Chain A
């Protein structure tokens, strides 16, 4: 009787094994030799409203890398078109970046963002980047020189993503979408320009809803990093005064009056002088004080212009509107906020705290 049962059990096990392997319900093929994980997609405008989708194919075997480009109506069609011609199926599980051309950005990128968010394979941590210039062409030319261009680009973004690394805007998919959906805030993305010598960081693209409306660069972008993104800059060069401020940290205090007509935006900065090529004697407390005043007014003016630009464009990447939210009152409508923001009188105030100079200064007279 016992033996009979044991045999029975084994037979069932055997049957299950066959059944599982034979008519397995899992149909997706993930055989490593037959898939081609892509690390990024670059999307630009094609002819007649089509999308141009490109990526570098990194076959796992020692085949040469190549750039795959398809012109399609819908984003995922590009992937499908390639799959129809190759034994290596494209898989997006390892996707790290999405490079969007600035022209496409101006048209709006909501549909593309939605494609990425609905695919469970794609992590919400992938970086979004705006590229100016022909990215595909650059990729083609780069394959011989820098085989791992895509990977090093990703590493760079990853390096600067961590808080207080300073310097450049890095935004991932989730953050972009969060800014897009949160009332009183607008998303922004980093812009990279394709030049002959490489891909260079240019500044920050400001979005109104999902449409790119403005790119800010140089000093404006420095200020944007300082007051919004990282609250930290490794170096802040101000050519006008021939000075470089280093390790700049900022603290922001925003105060909106009860009638929502004026906003006082105070930026407190702690920094030290890294480099100076001007004529002033910065060891002299008085002259240092003068210099501080000069820098403060200069930054105030620049920041005021930047915010004014935002007011004109009706974008609020600084999330100033969030200040109007109160724990015990009904939040106002977003539209109403933007109208008020447009008319708002904004006062910018900088308080700079510069560490006094201690070491070396060849021009110091009294020593």
Chain B
């Protein structure tokens, strides 16, 4: 059995519901936890919604690609579209994007876990454990990893209901939401704009999941539902944090949403924030596992090893490399505040670029090559 184990084999295809959850959970990663303290001003609510609508356009392009026959062919489809050499080159660049995203979300989460749950534990150990878990999930293959999104969703989504409490007095004050429109537009607001765009990114990786997704006329609808859900979550959490902190206090809190979690009270279990964080890790594990598989796949393409069958051992090797890389990044960048900011900014830019360009380029090339969507069922 083990010998024929294929990480990228395709037995099943998943319907639109999975596509929706994939979009939503890939957008709700590390950045939503730190987002409120960068947005600060109440009028950013409109920017959140506007960028959400912009993201809708990207999803439209994405669904156009998913509806073609090429997308369900996976690697061969890309080769038909771009040619072998270009695909190799692009996947080489893609490795950098995946590695950056992986590092930022994993290091971010492990730092949060260290701050709030295990203050004396070295973050390198946490990274090790997280990657160990993710290797287990990813080792089951793409199919199981995609299916894991259901678990990830049901373990994390309900948490948003807790934040309803902040919408009611005594802490809430309606004037915390004033002014509703921007009176001046500063440089920081542009940073916030790109942060939001980067937070909405993640769904562009669905480009590579074409073979596993069952696509039809409704695919775009499902992708939009996922995106709309994200917009609702973002706006809801942002307003809740404005009510809880007020604009001025908000900018001084590093992890606003988790600090809000600390305010919840329960006579049985006092540190509700610990519980919430642990559940959030499900989401992290899902995303990281998916990215690990993508990384492994992309590195196979980049180094011209497509003829060799994929194996768990190969995956383990790439996870090991990623672990080493992450420990290095952790030591060199993440632990000092200014350098961490640099890395965050890099991810903000990289996320924005990849989310903006990937669907656009693919659709443009499709137009040029005259690829049409296949007859939908």
Contact = CB atoms under 8 A, between A and B. Distances in A.
Interface in B34-88: none
A182 B262 contact: no
Contact of B183 (A183, A322, A330): A330
B265 interface: yes
B265 A326 contact: no
Contacts of A330: 179, 183-184
B151 interface: no
Contact of A325 (B169, B170, B175, B245): B175
B263 A26 contact: no
Contact of A327 (B179, B249, B271): B179
Contacts of B271: 93
Nearest to A120: B116
Interface residues of B, number: 34
Interface of B: 2, 115-116, 118-122, 125, 169-171, 173, 175, 177-181, 183-184, 244-246, 248-249, 252, 259, 262-263, 265, 270-271, 273
Contact of A123 (B177, B180, B249, B270): B270
Nearest to A331: B179
Interface of A: 5, 25-28, 93, 120, 123-125, 163, 174-175, 177-178, 181-183, 319, 322, 325-331
A226 B322 CA distance: 61
B215 to A, nearest CB: 39
A28 B119 contact: yes
Contacts of B122: 25
A312 to B, nearest CB: 25
Nearest to B168: A163
A178 B243 CA distance: 10
Given A120-B115, A175-B171, A330-B183, A181 B246 contact: yes
Contacts of A124: 259, 262-263
Contacts of B179: 325-331
A183 B251 CA distance: 14
A163 B170 contact: yes
B261 to A, nearest CB: 10
B263 A174 contact: yes
A322 B180 CA distance: 15
B116 A331 contact: no
B170 A182 contact: no
Contact of B119 (A5, A120, A326): A120
Question: When A and B form their complex, which 3 residue pairs have the shortest distance between CB atoms, in order from nearest?
Answer: A181-B249, A330-B183, A25-B125
Contacts of A181: 245-246, 248-249, 252
Nearest to A181: B249
Given A124-B263, A178-B171, A331-B179, A26 B246 contact: no
B178 A326 contact: yes
Residue from A27, A125, A178, A326 whose CB has the most chain B CB atoms within 10 Å: A178
A186 to B, nearest CB: 13
Contacts of B270: 93, 123
Given A120-B119, A125-B265, 13 more contacts: A25-B121, A25-B125, A123-B263, A163-B170, A178-B249, A182-B249, A183-B248, A326-B179, A327-B178, A327-B181, A329-B179, A330-B183, A331-B178
A53 to B, nearest CB: 22
Nearest to A26: B121
B132 to A, nearest CB: 9
Contacts of A178: 171, 245-246, 249
B263 A182 contact: no
Contacts of B170: 163, 175
B224 to A, nearest CB: 30
Nearest to A321: B175
B120 to A, nearest CB: 4
Contacts of B183: 329-330
Nearest to B259: A124
A177 B249 contact: yes
A88 to B, nearest CB: 19
A143 B248 CA distance: 43
B240 to A, nearest CB: 14
Contact of A125 (B173, B177, B180, B263): B263
Contact of A328 (B120, B180, B184, B263): B180
Given A181-B252, A326-B179, A27 B120 contact: yes
A129 to B, nearest CB: 18
B78 to A, nearest CB: 36
A43 B373 CA distance: 72
Contacts of A123: 262-263, 270
A5 B1 CA distance: 12
Contacts of A174: 171, 244, 263
Contacts of B177: 327
A231 to B, nearest CB: 10
Contacts of A322: 173, 175
A182 B244 CA distance: 11
Given A124-B259, A124-B262, A181-B246, A327 B119 contact: no
